[in-house]
Amino acid sequence: MIGSVIKGLLRLASLRYGARGAGLNRLAGLFFVIFAAFGAPTLAAPVTVLALGDSLTQGYGLPPEDGLVPQLGRWLAAHGTEAELINAGVSGDTTAGGRARVEWSLTPEVGAVIVALGGNDLLRGLAPEEARANLDAILTTVGARGLPVLLVGLKAPGNYGAAYQADFDAIWPDLAAKHGALLLPDLLAPIAALPPETRAAEGLMQGDNIHPSAKGVAMVVEALGPKVQELVAKAAP
């Protein structure tokens, strides 16, 4: 369109000013060539974000469009952030499983990574030091690619004892500081902050009381979205 406008102005100059217009035409034509070569704006491609996680990321028990990743994608678009999200959530995956597949999950187009693992380690009562070692290895692998990362944690329940809870909860801030990662300490915090009767009345959890409903995921995304915006901003050229 810009080229058409310039050509129209050049023709008008020739008709109105004759030979002088022809000179202007040639000069403007030179500017047009320069503009075409250097002045056309280049639109950056959206950042591709890999979401490496478990069933909470994968969208267990929900229609595909209501899972965490699709809802997050819509939230980002509505808030002016262009990103392509890859759903690398695997139901039942532990931090060890994430560690085993992170290398081949980092395909060339990936520009940033969300790491949201640990829930199944908690459910199985696996040792905090094992989860820490696995997450540390995942972040090291991502860091070696020069990619920014958002580490997303979960709060440990108290049924394994205070020491276990404290050791597990310390993993997220410790590793985020070590690797210079962005941090969301507790993915489910917006839901957990509500009394159980409120969660039930509003239908925020699925029947297993482990996975959020579509409405619960929407609450989670409201807290997660701004952190992912920061992540995308760090990855943008």
- Which of the following is catalytic: 121, 179, 186, 211? 211
105 tagged catalytic: no
Strand partners, 170: none
Distance of CA 208 to the CA centre of its chain: 27
Closest to 71 measured CA to CA, from 217, 237, 229, 234: 217
Closest to 211 measured CA to CA, from 22, 35, 30, 57: 57
Q: Which two structure tokens, joined as six digits, stand for 225? A: 């979205």
- Which of the following is catalytic: 54, 55, 105, 121? 55
Q: Return d(Cα 44, Cα 56) in angstroms, integer.
A: 31
Q: Return d(Cα 105, Cα 111) in angstroms, integer.
A: 12
79 tagged catalytic: no
Closest to 116 measured CA to CA, from 153, 91, 144, 82: 153
Q: Return d(Cα 98, Cα 106) in angstroms, integer.
A: 12
Closest to 134 measured CA to CA, from 172, 95, 183, 169: 95
Q: Return d(Cα 6, Cα 11) in angstroms, integer.
A: 9
Closest to 46 measured CA to CA, from 90, 98, 109: 109
211 tagged catalytic: yes
- Do 109 and 83 form a contact (C-beta atoms < 8 A)? no
Residues annotated as catalytic (active site), given as ranges = 55, 208, 211
